[in-house]
Amino acid sequence: MRTQVAIVGGGPAGLLLSHLLHRQGIASVVLESRDRAYVEHRQRAGMLEQGTTDVLRDSGVGERLDREGLVHHGLELRFGGAGHRIPLTGLTGRTVTIYAQTEIVKDLVARRLADGGEVLFEARAVEIDPSAPSVTYLRDGRTHTLECDYIAGCDGFHGVSRPAVPGLRTFSREYPFAWLGVLADVPPSTDELIYAHHERGFALHSLRSPQVSRLYLQVSPDEDLAAWPDERIWAELAARFATDDGWELREGPITDRAITPMRSFVGEPMRHDRLFLAGDAAHIVPPTGAKGLNLAVSDVTLLARALIERYASGSEAALDGYSASCLRRVWRAEHFSYWMTTLLHTDPHGDGFAHRLQRSHLDYVVSSTAASTTLAENYVGLPLTR
């Protein structure tokens, strides 16, 4: 087989890149190691920056997003028994939207297949050649080779793309806590996200839909999921969200639960020869700042623009600048995610002095317009530039 752009990974980054290229007449083949059902039901975060929703709408895949997405104009920081609203739109003029990543993937898969796109599920890439660009993959018990002009590595943290970059510099940080995330069939107890700091640990109340809630608890990285029956989860959530005015948390059947470790990771550069890394293949952020999916979208949007320019004019200037352009945004998001994480989580190794500093910082963020604006500006996402 031969195509112009081989895309390794059929998550939202790879599918969106294929869609953006198709709109400009550039051929691509998406190789995804899992089957379609798995990809379309893989639970991931779903907070979209305005720049991300703009990209989806402008590319013609935002119809269901506009119909079902929950637009938010603020968020709440909760600590010391009280809530403090950060007016995102009032401070920045921008919004965020809650729309599940699973639904984005379903929208993109349906669109690519309807457009005649080549999305090969259960096609596991095993070797990448960035210089004589090609991808060797296994499918239906046979070995295949896909030759191409360029390769986009959108295959996540554990994929084969990043190891194909020689001399890669890596930067990482492991955190002394993890998230226990649950999906519950119960209407949300809030209209906007609640980020709670509590001496027992961090908690987050998010939304999946008007009928489904997504909630998180800070736990230790080695926590046993079996030690958390429904009753314990709801009791701990209620304790961490408790306010002096008697706010109540709605409870319902928990349909999904998982423990996710937290890390920060960046690999530089994001390009080697004809191979370009995007999304989790190049960087990981702790989920506190809700930047993972949004960074992936900004990566592939920049890569699509660069490839479109290359095929339209023959110029590789934008491709040459791809890594540097992405990394400027990546490091800003890494810092914001680290800042939000250390601001809100309870450090199990921290002393009283550290905890007092943390509380002072929280008080400052909610009482200072300048500090609130810094949080809001980074949370809604910086404008996507070249």
6 within 8 A of 133, measured Cβ to Cβ = yes
Q: What's the CA gap between 176 and 263, in Å, rounded?
A: 9
Name the burial class of residue 70, with classes exposed (0-12), middle (13-18) and buried (19+) by CB atoms within 10 angstroms of its CB. middle
Task: Detail the DSSP E strand segments found in the chain.
Answer: 5-8, 28-31, 47-49, 70-72, 75-79, 82-86, 96-98, 118-120, 124-129, 134-139, 142-147, 150-153, 169-184, 194-196, 203-209, 212-219, 254-268, 271-272, 275-277, 283-284
8 DSSP 8-state letter? E
Is 355 labeled as catalytic in the residue annotation? no
Name the burial class of residue 275, with classes exposed (0-12), middle (13-18) and buried (19+) by CB atoms within 10 angstroms of its CB. buried
Place of tokens 């408790």: 242
39 within 8 A of 327, measured Cβ to Cβ = no
Is 287 labeled as catalytic in the residue annotation? yes
Active-site residue, selected from the candidate residues 150, 175, 322, 379: 379
Q: What's the CA gap between 8 and 307, in Å, rounded?
A: 16
Active-site residue, selected from the candidate residues 175, 195, 216, 322: 195
Instruction: For the beta carbon of residue 210, count every other beta carbon within 10 angstroms.
Output: 10
Active-site residue, selected from the candidate residues 72, 197, 205, 272: 72
Q: What's the CA gap between 6 and 63, in Å, rounded?
A: 27
Can you read off the two tokens belonging to residue 219? Answer: 């736990």
Is 38 labeled as catalytic in the residue annotation? no
Q: What's the CA gap between 20 and 23, in Å, rounded?
A: 5
Is 106 labeled as catalytic in the residue annotation? no
Judge if the upstream peptide bond of residue 253 is cis by omega within 30 degrees of 0.
Answer: no
Active-site residue, selected from the candidate residues 133, 287, 322, 345: 287
Place of tokens 């349906």: 110
Active-site residue, selected from the candidate residues 197, 272, 291, 345: 291
Positions marked catalytic: 72, 195, 287, 291, 379
